[in-house]
Amino acid sequence: MKYDLVVVGSGPGGYVAAIRASQLGMKTAVIERAELGGICLNWGCIPTKSLMKSAQVLDYVKHTEEYGVKVEGATADFEGIVKRSRGVADKMSGGIQYLFKKNKIDVINGFGKLKSKGVVTVTNDKDETQDVEAKHIIIATGARSRELPNLPQDGEKVIGYRQALTLKKMPKSMLVVGSGAIGSEFAYFYASMGAKVTLVEYLPNIVPLEDEEVSKQLGRSFKKMGIKVMTNSSVESLDTSGDLVKAQVKNKKGEMEEHEAEIVLSAVGIAPNTENIGLDELGIETERGRIKVNDHYETNVEGIYAIGDVIETAALAHVASAEGIHCVETIAGEKPEKIDYTNIPGCIYTSPEVASVGMTEKKAKEEGYEIKVGKFPFSASGKASAAGANEGFVKLIFDAKYGELLGAHMIGANVTEMIAELVLARKLETTGHEIIKAIHPHPTMSEAVMEAAAAAYDEVIHI
């Protein structure tokens, strides 16, 4: 079989690259050893959002009287919630199959390994092999849950995100190690379901990549819902011999504490799937397990490219998709604009949600900017109060000299839907005054963006 392009992996980088390539007239095939859509659609982004929605609905039910509605006897059906999540994932994976058929993309099931410059050997589940030839090859094999030596995962008592999505029964207690997006989302979900949750973070703040004020606000929200948050702390060892896992945790004072839990969820990052795919045999350069590429995602071997979680850029689905599109447009002879990695939005789907783009206040100061900071709390928003969702705020950071929007940081209801406005504003080099003068509809949560900009310039009306 000969193709213009073969993509190894069908996650949000791989399947998007394949579809764009087909649109550009390339004969395209995708090699996939598991479900179409990769980790994101099947074991990450999509099913976790289904769980978050169920947790949110449960929270609504618990507080219906605050809205003047009485509901009695409502309980969480954990098995039903997990089943719904799997159903959503299956539907989305089926959607990728439809898109491939629509765009005349061949799917080759099996494990792909680079054999030579233009050949990938595919081994199926019956150990049968076939060689697939292509003028161009894109590696989009994604990543998996990272394991630490002192936190070995057994898939039952010590688990990664994949097992956390499909537990057979609701645990009474859980210790979550790592408070990035994955750790924080699962901590929120299981606490919402009624588990006693302890969240352990090695760094001084949870969600450590976010602006410090956002991190502290989320920490307060977590503590309010009963999550025990331990920062500047580390899990030193685990004893899984009993019914409960015994974890030795070093706290911020350097003292050892023993914590017991039914389940320990290790959410300490991801590891790229770059082993045993032929990189060494072809001399493809890597660094710390990730593939080195140029600005157009080509490796040091001509005709072989890499995108998504296997390279050094941010491990986000929307980043992988953008890289896939740029890569195939370059292959097709177009001259796409380079991706601006300083303008990538990040979202965490806890409740309250977290969303951000650009520099934190601390980073802007470290870069030497003289800044103006505007902050507007949702407690002053009419729409937020009417919705019963007045936790959080919008925080905007501007360059005082030129009015450039350096960063935007939000925590609150639906902020993951609001962040795109600020991404677009930064893309168009919009100034603070232009945001203020852009009339926002009332009443909406998005008014807080305009008000935060106004606050930075001492023009705010509603606080």
Binding site annotation covers 178? yes
Query: Tokens 């990538």 sit at which residue?
Result: 344
Q: Where are the domains of the chain?
A: 2-144+271-331, 158-268, 352-456
Binding site annotation covers 201? yes
Number of residues in the chain: 463
Taking only the tens place, the pLDDT of each residue in 92-140 is 999 999 999 999 999 999 999 999 999 999 999 999 999 999 999 999 9
Confidence band of 161 (pLDDT split at 50, 70, 90): very high
Taking only the tens place, the pLDDT of each residue in 227-254 is 999 999 999 999 999 999 999 999 999 9
Binding site annotation covers 182? yes
pLDDT at position 255: 96
| Burial (CB count <10 Å: 0-12, 13-18, 19+), residue 382 | middle
pLDDT at position 72: 87
Confidence band of 17 (pLDDT split at 50, 70, 90): very high
Model pTM score: 0.95
Let me know if 462 is a catalytic residue.
no
Q: Is the pLDDT of residue 74 over 90?
A: no
2-144+271-331 CATH, one of 2.40.37.10, 3.30.70.520, 3.50.50.60, 3.60.15.10: 3.50.50.60
Binding site annotation covers 184? yes
Taking only the tens place, the pLDDT of each residue in 274-294 is 999 999 999 999 999 999 999
pLDDT at position 296: 97
Q: Is the pLDDT of residue 1 over 80?
A: no
Under DSSP, the state recorded for 343 is S
Binding site annotation covers 309? yes
pLDDT at position 224: 96
> Which residue pairs, CB below 8 angstroms and at least 24 apart, start in 91-96?
92/37, 92/41, 92/42, 92/46, 93/35, 93/36, 93/37, 93/41, 93/42, 96/10, 96/15, 96/36, 96/37, 96/41
pLDDT at position 218: 98
**Percent of the chain scored above 90 by pLDDT?**
96
Question: Residues 63, 259, 409, 442: which is the catalytic one?
Answer: 442
Q: What is the CATH number of domain 352-456?
A: 3.30.390.30
**Percent of the chain scored above 70 by pLDDT?**
100
Taking only the tens place, the pLDDT of each residue in 318-331 is 999 999 999 999 99
Query: Concatenated DSSP letters for 221-285?
Result: HHHHTT-EEE-S-EEEEEE-SSSSEEEEEE-TTS-EEEEEESEEEE-S-EEE--TTSSHHHHT--
Class of CATH domain 158-268: alpha beta
Query: Tokens 């992996």 sit at which residue?
Result: 9
Q: Phi/psi of residue 100, each to 5°? A: -65, -45
Of 327, 321, 318, nearest in space to 293 by CA:
327
Of 321, 326, 324, nearest in space to 336 by CA:
326
Q: Which amino acid is at 270?
A: I
Q: What is the C-alpha to C-alpha distance for residues 13 and 35, in angstroms, rounded to an integer?
A: 14
pLDDT at position 143: 95
Asked if the peptide bond before residue 336 counts as cis, ω within 30 degrees of 0, the response is no
Do domains 2-144+271-331 and 352-456 share one topology? The answer is no
